[in-house]
Amino acid sequence: MKVENFLNIAQRQVSQNRSEDIKKEQAATDFEEIFARHLVNELTKDSFKMADNETGMGKSNSLYREFITDALASELAEQRKLGMGDLVSKYWNNSSEKV
């Protein structure tokens, strides 16, 4: 077998491993975003009292709260400020080392 064939196989394997790592990191970030969204919802539930009102102002207030929640959750998840994504990544790394 030629050296080029071995190089192609090795390159494909590295590419596949890197692709799996990227998917795992994205999943960890997504998990942190879900966690952050629930956290921000709980922290801001009393800040938007008019959102409970079903008038026009209450509906727009509810949309505003949803927008703020999504923006804060996305930012927290992207920066990994809460540490949940790091815990998920660490768990995956430890479990793959044991295999």
- What is this structure's pTM? 0.64
Tell me which residue of 26, 21, 45, 29 sits closest to 82, measured CA to CA. 29
Tell me which residue of 91, 82, 86, 90 sits closest to 38, measured CA to CA. 82
Helix ranges restricted to H, the chain: 3-44, 56-79, 84-98
- Read off the pLDDT of residues 37-95 as tens digits, 9 standing for 90 and up: 998 888 887 776 654 555 556 677 778 888 888 888 888 888 887 888 888 888 877 87
Neighbouring C-beta atoms of residue 4, cutoff 10 Å:
8
Q: What is the reported pLDDT for 51?
A: 45
pLDDT band of 1, cuts 50, 70, 90: low
What secondary structure letter does DSSP report for 51?
Answer: G
